[in-house]
Structure 1
């Protein structure tokens, strides 16, 4: 069910963040989605995916006594952007930070009564729902007892946690997100919302495709400056392999992030995780987090 779990306390020691990285086991989906597929968009049966999410959320509640009140799980329709949404009490603020190559910035506000959030009621768990927050690739968590998840199958699932202000962000960082510096955009949104300082931020990066498996073509190499190609592209037997982990580490260092941790697992190498690169048609695993 979970490949990794942890709790990071805040500076005041009166709260923190509980998070868990799921694997592909312990769910109800049939091949090729077996078994704990958490994504509706893969082609799997929606009712089965919903059952998987509810089952996973029940297991998450049991990880820590502070998780007992977890309800209304939020997720995003991920689009490989740098779009960040804020999960608040009765309102979702959308902040589009540098979306697209031109780096445009815009803001919009969605009222709490807007049914575009497309809330799915979680059958069998009274009072709980599964909430789609719309198109985004970063989700800012600002309230306790409101769990959220980011879904991946080779992209990097990332948690940012501000120990001082007790806010967090879940980030979907695939190649386009890393190239577009989505982590920098998410940190900027956290700073705008709660005066977050990079030095107060703890970062966890879950399993993703690593340089051992991430083969790319000339078109991807061409998007990098020559110095970046030397640093982040490995050539092996005439083939090119991209090192997203090193790119993320360099970004964290340049931002002045206080502490970061990478789970030393490649999603493509290790079959406990779903991998789009390895399997093509497959499910998605998730990084779930909740402020307490």
Structure 2
């Protein structure tokens, strides 16, 4: 179920963030969504997706004693934008909907987390799932960074939102980047290459046998360096190469895996 889990403490050592990256196993969805599909928009049965999420959340609670009481799970309607939503305080005390454990915060591709014990997730199937954690202020953000998001500098815009709302300094930020499509598999056309400046094309596009392959990882690394992000970690896995992950590029109709995070104190 989880291919990677972690805990990053804050500088005061009185809190931090617990996070986990799922794979596609140990769920209940039938092909082509087999088996731990966590997204409602793929065409999978909603009741099965809810069961998968409940199963995942139950496993997440066991990762750390401070996660034991996690109930509501927030997620976004992701639209390949650069908008960062704020997980408001009113969402942390419950939700009077058909499913009391699931909260859709609306259309966004980044979610700012400022309250403890409020788990959230970002969904992907080749895009980069990213966690920013501000160790000084014990706040975090989950980011959906596909090609549109990376080209639109969603990480920079999310950091600006964290700076404005929470006083975040880039040097205090730890970034974790989960599995996503890497340059080994991400072939693009000339129209995509032209969206980059010439120097960016030289650095982030690889030419192989007359075909172009985009390196989103190197684009993100360059952006993090430019921003002054304190520390980052890329999970060395390609979602398209490795079949433990859902991949839209590889399979077309498929499910979504998730990066889940929760602030704790």
Is the contact between residue 120 and residue 131 of structure 1 (CA under 8 Å) also seen in structure 2?
A: no
Which residue of 1 is the match for residue 234 of structure 2? Answer: 262
Is the contact between residue 24 and residue 274 of structure 1 (CA under 8 Å) also seen in structure 2?
A: yes
Alignment of 1:1-292 (within 5 A): 1-90=1-90, 119-121=97-99, 128-292=100-264
Matched residues, number = 264
Flag as ranges the 4+ runs of structure 1 deviating above 6 A.
none
The structure where strand makes up a greater share of residues is: 1
Tell me by how many angstroms 1:88 deviates. Answer: 2.0
CA distance in 2, matches of 1:226, 1:192: 32
- Gap change, CA 1:79 and 1:119, over 3 Å in 2: farther
Is the contact between residue 160 and residue 168 of structure 1 (CA under 8 Å) also seen in structure 2?
A: yes
Tell me by how many angstroms 1:287 deviates. Answer: 0.1
Q: Which moved more, 1:169-178 or 1:81-90?
A: 81-90
SS in 1 for 2:90: coil
Tell me by how many angstroms 1:89 deviates. Answer: 1.2
Tell me by how many angstroms 1:71 deviates. Answer: 1.5
- Gap change, CA 1:265 and 1:212, over 3 Å in 2: same
Is the contact between residue 25 and residue 36 of structure 1 (CA under 8 Å) also seen in structure 2?
A: yes
- Gap change, CA 1:61 and 1:91, over 3 Å in 2: closer
TM-score by length of structure 1 reads 0.88
CA distance in 1, matches of 2:137, 2:66: 18
- Deviation string for 1:186-245 (max 9, x for gaps)? 000001111000000000000000000000001101101111111110000111000000
- Deviation string for 1:143-195 (max 9, x for gaps)? 00000000000000000000000000000000000000000010000011110
- Deviation string for 1:62-97 (max 9, x for gaps)? 1111101111100000000110111121169xxxxx
Long gaps (5+) in structure 2? none
SS in 2 for 1:41: coil
